[in-house]
Structure 1
Amino acid sequence: MVATSYLLGVSTRRVDRLVEQMGITGISKSQVSQMSKVLDARVQAFRNRPLEGGPYAFVWLDALTQKAREGGRTVNVHVLVATAVNADGHREILGVEVSSAEDGAGWPAFLRGLVARGLSGVQLVISDAHAGLVEAIGSTLPGAAWQRCRTHYLRNLVTKVPRSARPRVATPVRTIFDQPAAEEVHSQHARVVASLQAKHPDAAQHLDEARDDLPAFTAFPRQIWRQIWSNNPQERLNKEIRRRTDVVGIFPDRTAIVRLVGAVLMEQTDEWTEGRRYMGLEFLAKARLRVIDGGPCGDETDQQAITA
């Protein structure tokens, strides 16, 4: 009961009240932590399981910061999380790791571990521009393209202009994603770069430098563009993780972070497995054909609205 309460994000104070109602005099934070260790074996089995659901055409990567005690002080550590769509069209948590820094050393080791466990068939990796991540993708996942998250990119882009001009810059950039076909996306990207050049040259240069990474989604079927052009699905998962970890605040060590976050991700994967498919099998088949054909496989059907 204590371990389940811990997993659900119930505070130690509330657990204490609950056990008192069951006739137990009280329970401390250290006792809650000790009892919650029953989760360790399950979490480790989940983290180290063979990745047998591939090929995993689309992979989302993200990192979130947590506080932990190390060497008598409180430090920030980064929790690296990988999510993918498996061959059956369901989302699946591939792995979770705690790194000292979200840098070039953390990502390659994390991705190499996923490959060793069976990650294969990756066509597109969707993420923010984390330090060292693009190089890590190239070195560990040869052949995979990188889609820079459009939501995070726009936040970065508007910092290149005065606050008063941000709406005027953001609006035309969003029109790049409104286009119904791959060719029009690239053409609109070029037009927006040209339109920004006169008044906002820094923003224009920033957008021009992203001409390969920002529209990478256009190489895949039009019907799934909205699902692969941003890291928004991963951000929703991060909110659920933070909802559970905020109750803890500062973790006693990294093992405690892995225990709680790993248990949350294990639970989420079970829910996805039992739920509806995230992507249709026909679209996954088209995405895999991209490897053979070596070209884009988008079409002009079912234009969808964009949410910023």
Structure 2
Amino acid sequence: MKNKVFDASEPVGGNEVLKFGPVDNARSVLDQIIQDGARRMLQAALENEVEAFLERHSNKVDEEGRRQVVRNGYLPSRELVTGAGTLEIQQPRVRDRSPEADDRVRFSSSILPPYLRRSKAIDELIPWLYLKGISTGDFSEALQSLTGAPVDSVSASTIVRLKEAWTKEYETWSSRDLSEKRYAYIWADGIHVNVRLEDQENQRQCLLVLMGATAEGEKELIAVRDGYRESESSWTELLSDLKSRGLKVDPQLAIGDGALGFWAAVRKVFSKIREQRCWFHKSGNILNKLPKSAQPRAKEALHEIWMAETRENAYKAFDRFGEMYKAKYPQAWECLPKDKEELLAFYDFPAEHWKHLRTTNPIESTFSTIRLRHRKTKGSGTRQASLVMMFKLAEAAAKKWRRLDGH
């Protein structure tokens, strides 16, 4: 039997086939079907919830045996913004006809509380959009693009409450107990950001960030703190705070830029730790001291050092670099031998971990996220807001952090 082709608005049954026409129209029809299905399911759930409530109170009757708790039509229709679009819902109303007010029971829907206007999925989108740098005024348009239906604008008070909740999260996280933590490796770095609402002197802020990898290979954010990147005292405060909260076992290796005040601090606080200089920062420092014409070949020569399969081969590549650049570019060369052993410390650890230990890239990937957001928003309003934002962005980025190879 030949298939019959119907318009999308006709009911379907048997071997009938829907013909939607152009792809955009098909998508529109599909969205409408999904939205209507979601509305019907929610409406049915509300009806069932009311029926169950009425059944629980069916023994509540008057002297003539009539039920006291009964259906009483519907509340005015309301709109609910969901991931399937904006749904228009009619919520059943319940009435208790008991003469005594103290004896009456009230029905309150657990599915659709009185003041709920957005589903949890949409509420979870709001902080995500804010983290991505969407301004409060653009939330409505962004949510409409995601749900396919008009959405009331998100009030400034919603964002204020969001920031307050995040601040409490950050404060709780910053004082958490660390006595059960054991970190094999830690990465340290700092990032400078703009602060819009501070006075001129305080409009540049440095966020100190410490990240770790456990013995099981899991990478974790350890600390985010206000301070000075090159300051020994700033890093000492950060590391000492970790010890005071129970981090008693020294990590095996610390990775960071040679210019950090972190190194003097970590030697005091974790005296047994080994040091690994970041090859990304070191290479940048060396290349900046060379003419541009010499940089591509020098970059390859540096790469041959830290990508060598053995320490012995790395030493040979190190010497070759000296032969090529020591005489002609002494300033560039001098950057390298002073940190020779600290640049090659990673060779004393499992080979599958080397690519994680040569650089501070695990932190840099998170820094790129916060730089992007700050470019969009021209910085956070206050220093505290920057700290909290860094914490939340790193928390979001952590979901994509790779475990150490071999775990």
User: What TM-score results when the alignment is normalised by the length of structure 1?
Assistant: 0.79
The reply to whether residue 38 of structure 1 matches residue 129 of structure 2 is no
| Aligned residue number for residue 303 of structure 1 | none
State how far apart, in whole Å, the 2-side matches of 1:7 and 1:163 are.
38
| Aligned residue number for residue 278 of structure 1 | 404
Cα-to-partner distance string for 1:182-213 (whole Å, 9 max, x where unaligned): 22222332332233223222222222212122
| Aligned residue number for residue 64 of structure 1 | 191
| Runs (4+) off by over 6 Å | none
**Which has the larger share of helix?**
1
Return the match for 2:177 from 44, 50, 55. Answer: 50
The reply to whether residue 158 of structure 1 matches residue 282 of structure 2 is no
Rg larger for: 2
User: What TM-score results when the alignment is normalised by the length of structure 2?
Assistant: 0.61
Q: 1:178 to 1:280 in 2, by over 3 A?
A: closer
| Aligned residue number for residue 89 of structure 2 | none
The reply to whether residue 192 of structure 1 matches residue 321 of structure 2 is yes
| 1:142 aligned counterpart, secondary structure | coil
| Aligned residue number for residue 84 of structure 1 | 212
Return the match for 1:147 from 271, 276, 279. Answer: 276
Q: What is the number of residues matched between the two proteins?
A: 276
Any unmatched runs of 5+ in structure 2? 1-122, 145-149
| Aligned residue number for residue 285 of structure 1 | none
| Contact kept in structure 1, 2:353 and 2:404, CA below 8 Å | no
Q: How does 1:133-282 map to 2 (within 5 A)?
A: 133-269=262-398, 271=399, 277-281=403-407
Q: 1:47 to 1:199 in 2, by over 3 A?
A: same
Q: 1:184 to 1:167 in 2, by over 3 A?
A: same
Counterpart AA for 1:115: K
Deviation at 1:61, TM superposition (A): 0.9
State how far apart, in whole Å, the 1-side matches of 2:402 and 2:335 are.
39
State how far apart, in whole Å, the 2-side matches of 1:243 and 1:8 are.
8
Return the match for 2:254 from 105, 125, 132. Answer: 125
Q: 1:70 to 1:184 in 2, by over 3 A?
A: same
Cα-to-partner distance string for 1:30-70 (whole Å, 9 max, x where unaligned): 76335421222222222221225532111111111111232
| Contact kept in structure 2, 1:78 and 1:102, CA below 8 Å | no
Deviation at 1:126, TM superposition (A): 0.9
State how far apart, in whole Å, the 1-side matches of 2:318 and 2:142 are.
58
Any unmatched runs of 5+ in structure 1? 282-308
| Aligned residue number for residue 60 of structure 2 | none
Deviation at 1:218, TM superposition (A): 1.2
Deviation at 1:177, TM superposition (A): 2.0
Q: 1:22 to 1:103 in 2, by over 3 A?
A: same
| 2:259 aligned counterpart, secondary structure | coil
Q: 1:71 to 1:178 in 2, by over 3 A?
A: closer
| Contact kept in structure 1, 2:285 and 2:335, CA below 8 Å | no
Deviation at 1:116, TM superposition (A): 2.2
Give me the identity figure in percent: 25
State how far apart, in whole Å, the 1-side matches of 2:285 and 2:402 are.
34
